[in-house]
Amino acid sequence: DTAVSQTPKYLVTQMGNDKSIKCEQNLGHDTMYWYKQDSKKFLKIMFSYNNKELIINETVPNRFSPKSPDKAHLNLHINSLELGDSAVYFCASSLGTVSNQPQHFGDGTRLSIL
Amino acid sequence: GESVGLHLPTLSVQEGDNSIINCAYSNSASDYFIWYKQESGKGPQFIIDIRSNMDKRQGQRVTVLLNKTVKHLSLQIAATQPGDSAVYFCAESEYGNKLVFGAGTILRVKS
């Protein structure tokens, strides 16, 4: 299946830990994104990479570090997890930049901090 | 369901009726608009998009209308089905910049 896939689907961990979420797309897209969706369903962009180059970096704590080893992968590493990091994190990809093509989303990683 | 406790606008329609979901956007310079459908436990799913040089675009059972004068976007769903029940988001962007999402509307379809 062609898709944006992210792992794990659920992540439960304790405050202070470091964790990573992986994302892969096999759609041949060259732009990838990370979004955070809070408990009120509000969806906000965090980062965007185009051909492995960071192009959007919103006001996100530097505990969050995206890494793009190639244009089909965009991973998110989070250091020193805090209670407020609990949310659903979505990876997305698009063929071009935002105004050219729609973004396709993965099914999310639900992060719960204890 | 997952929508319990969410204080989002809710539209309840009878199966077979047409649905209209509205969205007011904020940036008069936005030139690209898009609608997504999000089902419980899933990621947002692309429905339809429209650029600012158009005021209407049709897809399969869906129509998007854009009124730039009043900065209003709407999604019309014809012959609404139970499978259309979800949270619907509009989003806007300016000149290839980031997508900014609206708050979302819950659509409930009654059988």
Instruction: Inform me whether the C-beta atom of residue B102 falls under 8 Å from chain A C-beta atoms.
Output: no
Instruction: Please list the rounded mean pLDDT of every run of 10 residues in chain A (114 residues).
Output: 90 98 96 95 93 86 94 96 97 81 94 96
Question: Is B103 at the interface with chain A, CB within 8 A?
Answer: yes
Q: Give CA–CA dist A39/B29, Å, rounded.
A: 29
A59 touches A44 (CB < 8 A)? no
> B88 to chain A, minimum CA–CA distance in Å?
11
Residues 6 or more apart from A62 whose CB is under 8 A from it?
none
Question: What is the Cβ-side half-sphere exposure of residue A16, based on CA atoms within 13 angstroms?
Answer: 0
How many other CB atoms are there within 10 angstroms of residue A84's CB atom?
Answer: 9
Q: Does residue B10 belong to the interface with chain A, where contact is any CB pair within 8 Å? A: no
pLDDT digits (tens, 9 = 90+) for B21-65: 999 998 999 999 999 999 999 999 999 999 999 999 999 999 999
Minimum Cα–Cα distance from B39: chain A residue: A107
Quote the pLDDT of residue A100. 66
- Please, are residues B91 and B36 in contact by the beta-carbon 8 Å criterion? yes
CB contact under 8 A, A98 and B87: no
Which residue in chain A has the smallest CA separation from B88? A41
What is the token pair recorded at B88? 């619907």
Cβ of B42 and A41 within 8 Å? no
Q: Chain A residues within 8 A (CB-CB) of chain B?
A: 4, 40-45, 48, 56, 58, 90, 92, 97-100, 102-108
C-alpha count within 13 angstroms, C-beta hemisphere, residue A22: 7
For B81-93, how does the pLDDT look when each residue is reduced to its tens digit (9 = 90+)? 999 999 999 999 9
Tell me how far apart the alpha carbons of residues B76 and B18 are, in angstroms, rounded to a whole number: 7
Contact B23, B102 (CB under 8 A): yes
- DSSP letter at B79 equals S
Residue written as token pair 């659509």: B107
